[in-house]
Amino acid sequence: MSQGAKKTHQGRSRKTRDKLLNALENLLVDNDFADISVNQIASEAGVSPASVYRRFDKKQGFIPVLFELYLERLNQWVKSPEAQLDIEGCSLREALKRLARTTWRQMEQQTHILRAIHLHGRNHLALMGTSADQFEAAMLSAMTMIIALYDDEIEKTDHDKAARMLAYYFNNILLERGLFKEQSAEWAKEIPDTDFTDEVADFAYGYLQVKD
């Protein structure tokens, strides 16, 4: 059970908890987490505000639960046909482009949840438990795999460091685009998402081509 969420003993109580989580997700599509009140969540779910406090440790208690929801959907997506990265016969540069495009599509689908987690979970990392570590490890694993597959095209000699840098770069630049695109400079907004992800991949490719 997530930290921040209170233990439920009955099926009915769990059903109400899920209704509250669904209600919050609906509200997050058009609102920032900080602007959503407990009363709004309760109203959207069709329950009393007291029901929220019986199941969550204040509003902040939703954050680790949202993170677990995101990880659950991420795991489901990884197993889906959409997530399968077909890079057989591709060059390193093309493989990076396909990876960037695929990662972007997944992030885009869950932007409303990621925004709440990113902006309001950083100051409460203890609530996130080991889930955050698992997420970071998964991203690093994907980059390590790409580097291992294209060893002969990579000039970087320290592959472990290169994988860590790529994991950090891909995760943060795509997340920033997804969460704050509307707050970006006008010239940045004019770049189509497909072009943006391709350029992100080219930056990564250029980094891997630089000799130590």
Q: What is the CATH number of domain 63-209?
A: 1.10.357
Between the CA atoms of 43, 44, 47 and 50, what dihedral angle is there, to the nearest 10 degrees?
-60
Calpha distance 135→137 (Å, rounded): 5
Residue 3: what pLDDT?
Answer: 47
Return the exposure string of 102-130: e unless at least 16 CB atoms fall within 10 Å of the residue's CB, then b: bbbebbeebbbbbbbbbebbeeeeebbbe
The tokens of 23 are what? 């209600």
Sequence-distant (≥ 6) Cβ neighbours of residue 127 within 8 angstroms: 2, 3, 4, 60, 61, 63, 64, 121
Given this model, what pLDDT does residue 212 score? 82
**What was the pLDDT predicted at 83?**
79
Q: What architecture is domain 11-61?
A: Orthogonal Bundle (1.10)
pLDDT digit string (tens) for the chain, length 212 residues:
444 555 554 556 788 888 999 999 999 999 999 999 999 999 999 999 998 988 887 888 898 888 888 888 888 888 888 878 888 899 999 999 999 999 899 888 899 998 888 877 665 555 555 555 666 677 788 899 999 999 999 999 999 999 999 999 998 899 889 888 888 788 888 999 999 999 999 999 999 999 88
Angstrom distance (rounded) from CA 62 to CA 121: 10
CA atoms within 13 A on the CB side of 98: 16
Beta strands in the chain (DSSP E): none
pTM of the model: 0.80
Parse the chain into domains and list their residue ranges. 11-61, 63-209
* Token pair for 133: 């570590």
- The whole-number pLDDT of residue 182 equals 80
Find the radius of gyration of the CA atoms of the chain. 20
Q: What is the pLDDT of residue 154?
A: 96
**55/5 Cα distance (integer angstroms):** 6
∠ Cα 123 124 129 (to 5°): 140
